[in-house]
Amino acid sequence: MITGIRCFACERGHDPHALPTVCTACGMPLRVDYDLGAIRLRRGDGTGHRSGLWRYRAVLPLLEGDEITLGEGDTPLLEVDRNTWVKDESRNPTGSFKARGMAVAVSMARRLGARALSAPSAGNAAGALAAYGARAGLPVTVAMPEDTPRAFIDECRHFGATVHTVQGTISDAGKFLREHGPTGAFDVSTLREPYRIEGKKTMAYELVEQMAGDVPDVVLYPTGGGTGLIGMWKAFAEMAALGWIAAGRMPRFVSVQAAGCAPVVRGLETGAQRTDAWPDPVTRAYGLRVPAPLGGFLCLRALRESKGTALAVAEDEIARATGALAARSGIDVCPEGGAAWAALATLRESGFVKASDRVVVFNTGTGLKYR
């Protein structure tokens, strides 16, 4: 029950029956709105009927039968310490949380008439797009930085996608596709269409169900383009409107970035409304190497509104924490998840996280593809 598609920045309405991109007035990302007062979706509804994120269909844009699925969602929430859990997104198809966003975005793109798909990526989004495109029967073209580990590239080719490697970062890969990509392919880049957020927001719905209706005090999220953070921020507001949680209840969100690419951290520190492009971004946590996120202003809004914070983690500390969490927990930790784990230790020391706080750290993907 969508009531409309509106711009996150200027609120201009857009046609929900056309393939939406960014705001036609200001170029900023679009948001999908629902008539939440009329939606009857109770916590625990659909458990046992449907698996994964599709049990939140009432707050997704899809009609019955339109879904392109590989069994995404339903990832475990694993206790790793007292009052501390890891939401292990490595268990999704193609090994990352990107599957959630692509499942919904590819389903909607096909329903709305897309004939081909493309996206720039740091690695995981490309693999997910290639898989869901294959499932939908739509040709996929992706572009990634040339130093992206081999496994990400091989995975896309395995799913039949056309892969371009580009000198520079994900920004350069996006530019390459806009200039040289296949004509007519629908661009499912981060926040350049509104539906990946809708898929990603289901992480927060799952979290609240797994915590039996409770809301964690702190959520640490490795932030690159920001879709996961923005999606969950949206989801907590929706859950309040649905009556799942008290109005205004939300975890304190923590954006974790790499010291070599931390535009959101800098934006928060300087009190800015928008993030500035990060010059010469460097990190082996490739998903965090996003120098100029289109949704940077929304990340800042989510962090401020939730009374959260943002933290940059040094490269050697990311590597150390990734190994340490994997070795103590058995979870297949990726560097981005390791960064979030490292940030938690710092925030405990600073007192931002107290021993009584219930904390959730996101491991956004598998560590296997980085070797």
Ligand X SMILES: Cc1ncc(COP(=O)(O)O)c(C=O)c1O
Q: Give the interface with Zn ion as residue ranges (CB under 5 A).
A: 7, 9-10, 12, 23, 25-26, 28
Q: CB of 173: closest distance to ligand X in angstroms?
A: 12
Among 75, 118, 124, 283, binds ligand X (CB under 6 A): 124
Residue 122 interacts with which of Zn ion, ligand X, none, CB < 5 to 8 Å by class: ligand X
Q: CB of 11: closest distance to Zn ion in angstroms?
A: 7
Residue 19 or 116 having the CB closest to Zn ion: 19
Residue 26 interacts with which of ligand X, Zn ion, none, CB < 5 to 8 Å by class: Zn ion
- Torsion of the alpha carbons at 181, 186, 192 and 197, rounded to the nearest 10: -130
Pairing relationship of beta strands 117-120 and 84-88 according to DSSP bridges: unpaired
Token reading at 321? 């924490």
Determine the size of the site formed for ligand X (CB under 6 A).
17
Q: Is 222 in the site for ligand X (CB under 6 A)?
A: yes
Q: Which of these segments, 152-160, 223-231, 270-278, 315-323, binds ligand X (CB under 6 A)?
A: 223-231
Nearest residue relative to ligand X (C-beta)? 287
What is each CA distance from 322 to 73, 114, 299, 325, 335, in whole angstroms? 23, 39, 24, 5, 6
| CA pair distance 56, 232, nearest whole angstrom | 14
Q: Is 226 in the site for ligand X (CB under 6 A)?
A: yes
Q: CB of 303: closest distance to ligand X in angstroms?
A: 13
Q: CB of 21: closest distance to Zn ion in angstroms?
A: 12
| CA pair distance 148, 133, nearest whole angstrom | 21
Q: Is 287 in the site for ligand X (CB under 6 A)?
A: yes
H or E stretch including 228?
A: helix 227-241
Token reading at 235? 């989801």
Looking at this protein, which amino acid is placed at residue 264? V
Q: CB of 45: closest distance to ligand X in angstroms?
A: 26
Residue 99 or 245 having the CB closest to ligand X: 99
Burial zone of 10 (CB within 10 Å; 0-12 exposed, 13-18 middle, 19+ buried)? exposed
| CA pair distance 255, 287, nearest whole angstrom | 13
Residue 216 or 226 having the CB closest to ligand X: 226
Helix axes 98-111, 124-136, angle to 10 degrees: 40
Q: CB of 358: closest distance to Zn ion in angstroms?
A: 37
Residues that bind ligand X (CB under 6 A): 96, 122, 124-125, 190, 222-228, 287, 334, 336, 364-365
